[in-house]
Chains A and B, each alone.
Chain A
Amino acid sequence: MSTQIGFEQPSYLEYKGKYKGIFSWILSTDHKRIAILYLFSLLSFFAIGATLGLLMKIELIAPGKTIMTAQTYNAFFTLHGIIMIFAVVIPGLPAVFGNFFLPIMIGAKDVAFPKLNLLSWYFYVTGVSLVLISQFTGQGPPDTGWTFYAPYSFRTTGNMLPAVFGAFVLGFSSILTGLNFLVTIHRMRAPGMTWMRMPLFPWTLYATGWVQLLATPIIGITLLMIIAERTLHIGFFDPTLGGDPLLYQHLFWTYSHPAVYIMILPAMGAISEIIPTFCHKTIFGYKFIVASSIAIAFVGYFIWGHHMFTSGMSGTALYTFSLLTFIVAIPSAVKVFNWISTMHKASIDLQTPFFWAVGFLFVFMIGGFSGLILGSLATDIHLHNTHFVVAHFHFIVFGGTGYAFFGAMHYWYPKITGKMYDSRWANTGLVIFFAGFITLYGEMFFLGMKGMPRRYYDYDEIFHTGNIFSSLGAIVMYFGLAVIILNLISSLRNGAKAPADPWGGKTLEWTIPSPPPTENFEEIPVVTKGPYDYK
């Protein structure tokens, strides 16, 4: 069933090697199996994070206590943030689709260091486990927010050590993935695949790899400093000992701002794969998209202070960070222009992945524009730490990385599973999800402008109506998510058999069977053309 004419190899799902049963998965160094391991663990953690989010919104549907105490609310938004950021959107596309498709799209049999790849998954699961353990031990779960700001993070009696150390371990997972992808791309491209013939998803994984490699160690050392502060009272961030809490913020955001480019660049890469395929047209401005990916990764290192405009930084720092923040918007705009230009006069095949791509463009633009409003010093003074910020980052991170993830999920589902998903349920789920998403987060812009703070358990009555809308949106969105995911799960059993190339894609993954055999290619291909060679 998994073999195609001329192909004698079993698929990667059926391959029988040294180990049996579950061990053939958790001890496998096959990049495709590791991708599936990541997929299952990531979706499980996403389910936990999403449920926390839903419960928070139910709490916020009315002022005062609704279903939980204030302390629980603080613990919930902390865990929600840690899981969503460190366990879902940062690993996100690279760990799942990068692992599965990078070697295939460049014509390789695996990544450069398959054992390190498996190790990165072990670090991932260990890190998240430590974070989850922090909920149930010590004197209560962490309540600092995922940002662990000093001095509260070393003064709180909440159980910070496992959570902070868990985040540290997750950093190793990210670094190893980035390192592996960088070497893979440098050394293992198929004969004839020059840099400028490489598809755009691998290009974004390349740019992202540098960010994973060079930014993550900074948060690593910063988290170690928090641990030193809590255990040794070392004094780096403690004002009573001479430390500056603001330095913590500098160090934290020096990583966490580039981290958002880890989240979004592969997402943009996936969108750059989906759009040409369903437009049956080569991508507009390939070189500009490559250049803008590198530019975003580069400029993104120098703008972290825009998270700190109201913190007490010097005027010079304020102006510098604001200016550089505006500059980083330019390469993103270049990409949006190129994607839309690709669609211009194209013969579009209206399929689920394309709908997700269009949804991405819509919400990413809203998220991006709201970012400019926040990047502007004067308006930020009013909007900082309000729900406007919460809306901004959910539009751009959930909207950006999330929509791209779901788009990629549906785009590559036939290749990964060998089945077709049910497109009516997929599209229905998408519409419900989208309606809920826009209501939930769109309303937050208005709540924020009116002055509702973020991370507050309670609020003034003037915000009540807006919160009702927003929380109802959450329930609708959650329901939409359930439809989408259940459809993908049920299609595993009930879906039609997928051909090698259901969409008419031109990149290398569509030339091998669905699902792929363990070694990907019977023979390493020789590449003679660019990646989106339509007509």
Chain B
Amino acid sequence: MSTILVTHRDDLASKTGMWLFLFTEMLLFGGLFIVYSVYRYRNPVSFHLAAKELSVFIGTLNTIILLVSSTTIAMSITAIQKKNKKLALLLLGTTVILGIAFLVNKYFEWGEHIKEHIYPGSSVLALRGHGDVLFYGLYFFMTGLHALHIIIGLVFILVIATSVYRNKINSENYVLLENSGLYWHLVDLIWIFLFPLFYLIT
């Protein structure tokens, strides 16, 4: 016995479900923002000094990468609505490439720190003092969790792109494309807050 017969498609239900899921993601990261607030309050100087060690250039570049990628996926919906399948696929592909670029930047950024033995649990980090331990702990945990969500988002977008290619998603039925866009925008939103809190508190 499989699914109950659904007599009509309810796009609004689908979209509502996606928004509710986004709320859970907001609260998930929200818990980490709670931790950040407390430890920033308790270690203002260390956080300020540690933030200077991050590359504002890469951070800004990554911020712009995500903003552009949000634009391209939003535009892909317009493309589908206008029955321009080629453009939609191009825009989705661009979104994915930008997402990968973000991850590549992150990889190099993290690599720099790890080379200096700055990572959660390292004795070098522990020697630098409580504030640094907490700053970098939060930095790796929050950007790591964020990167995980980027990976999930990219997989989601690739699956959706396949459906677009196969015409399963089209100008009459594109709620799943909208939902993947919503998820991607959330990933962008989280970074919009992570960026100043880690890179700009100098």
Contact = CB atoms under 8 A, between A and B. Distances in A.
Interface string A1-19: 0000000000000011111
Contact of A217 (B28, B43, B126, B131): B28
A216 interface: yes
Contacts of B39: 236, 242-243
B32 A242 contact: no
A72 interface: no
Nearest to B138: A236
Interface string B50-63: 00000000000000
A155 interface: no
A187 B30 contact: no
A214 to B, nearest CB: 6
B63 to A, nearest CB: 23
Contacts, number: 128
A235 B133 contact: yes
A344 interface: no
A233 B120 contact: yes
B13 A187 contact: yes
Interface residues of B, number: 40
Scoring B2, B28, B134 by chain A CB atoms within 10 A of each residue's CB, the highest score goes to: B2
Given A235-B134, A236-B134, A242-B131, A518 B4 contact: yes
Interface in B2-27: 2-5, 10, 12-13, 16-17, 20-21, 23-25, 27
B113 interface: no
Given A187-B10, A251-B31, A115 B24 contact: no
Given A217-B31, A236-B137, A242-B130, A519 B1 contact: no
Contacts of A254: 31, 34
A519 B6 CA distance: 10
A32 B130 CA distance: 53
Nearest to A222: B31
A244 B141 CA distance: 17
Interface in A275-301: none
Nearest to A180: B17
Contacts of B21: 179
Given A30-B1, A217-B31, A232-B120, A183 B13 contact: yes
Contacts of B17: 112-113, 179-180, 183
Given A187-B16, A242-B43, A518 B134 contact: no
Nearest to A228: B141
Given A235-B134, A251-B34, A15 B1 contact: yes
A182 B120 CA distance: 39
A15 B3 CA distance: 13
B14 to A, nearest CB: 9
A298 B121 CA distance: 39
B43 to A, nearest CB: 7
A110 interface: yes
B101 interface: no
A186 interface: yes
A242 B24 contact: no
A225 to B, nearest CB: 7
Contacts of A175: 24
A475 interface: no
A218 B2 contact: no
A33 interface: yes
B4 A214 contact: no
B131 A518 contact: no
Scoring A182, A215, A241, A247 by chain B CB atoms within 10 A of each residue's CB, the highest score goes to: A241
A234 interface: yes
Scoring A16, A27, A113, A242 by chain B CB atoms within 10 A of each residue's CB, the highest score goes to: A242
B35 interface: yes
Nearest to B27: A217
A96 B29 CA distance: 30
Interface string A23-48: 01001111001000000000000000
A519 B7 CA distance: 12
Interface of B: 1-5, 10, 12-13, 16-17, 20-21, 23-25, 27-32, 34-35, 38-39, 42-43, 120-121, 126, 129-131, 133-134, 137-138, 140-141, 145
Q: Which 10 A-B pairs have the closest CB atoms?
A: A242-B130, A17-B1, A221-B31, A233-B121, A217-B27, A217-B28, A110-B4, A234-B120, A232-B120, A187-B13
8 contacts: A18-B1, A110-B4, A114-B4, A217-B25, A221-B31, A236-B134, A242-B39, A247-B38
Given A187-B16, A228-B120, 13 more contacts: A33-B1, A110-B4, A115-B3, A179-B21, A179-B24, A213-B20, A217-B24, A221-B29, A234-B140, A235-B126, A236-B39, A241-B137, A518-B1
